[in-house]
Amino acid sequence: MVRRYRDEWLIRVVQRRDEADRLAVQKMVGTKREFHERHMEKSPRPEDRMDTICSYVQELPDLRAELLNEARPGWSGTTADMVTASYAYIDALRAVLVTLAVFYPRGSFGADSHRFFSEVIALQFRWHRAHAEPYGPRTGGTIVNVHCSGNVISDAEKMVEDMVLSLVGYGGCIDWDDWLSRWRKD
């Protein structure tokens, strides 16, 4: 059962990857898609592109706000609507993680950062489902899907925070406390 959820998640990620990546890349400075593709092909050095990193990072709280606005209608619907909206939001967060990974040395997240972050998120789903249903699969009802999705959202948002902090640091080009406050604003 757990393997099925993982496989379903990986299939869903592959199907939505292009659209989620497009949303994340739209917030990048410069020529957007061309910038993203150019930097995915070579190993970026953060110190050479700190202005670009800082510009992208500064846009992330606004991107998150847009993504939350898109998800909110689904979160007030049926359980299925809630889960679908959560999956779309998680997909977009994964795309942000993939974009942030561009600024790390090649191979930091394996040969394929898309796959790396998809697998991490699939494992997060597995973890949250396992501890949410201690008596076995399908013992927690359909609400478990909502809770697991919410927990994975929190995990993915924290991963973005961690990567941003690693890239720009406390003394970097952003006011960390201000950025974090804007990022976490609901």
Cβ-based burial of 185 (10 A; exposed 0-12, middle 13-18, buried ≥19): exposed
Residue that is written with structure tokens 């795309």 in the block: 95
What is the number of other CB atoms lying within 10 angstroms of the CB of residue 51? 10
- Residue pair 76/138 in contact (Cβ under 8 Å)? The answer is no
- Residue pair 184/65 in contact (Cβ under 8 Å)? The answer is no
Please give the chain's pLDDT, 186 residues, in tens: 666 666 666 666 655 655 555 555 454 433 334 444 444 444 445 455 788 888 899 999 999 999 999 999 999 999 999 999 999 999 999 999 999 999 898 999 999 999 999 999 999 999 999 988 888 888 888 888 999 999 999 999 999 999 999 999 866 788 999 999 999 998
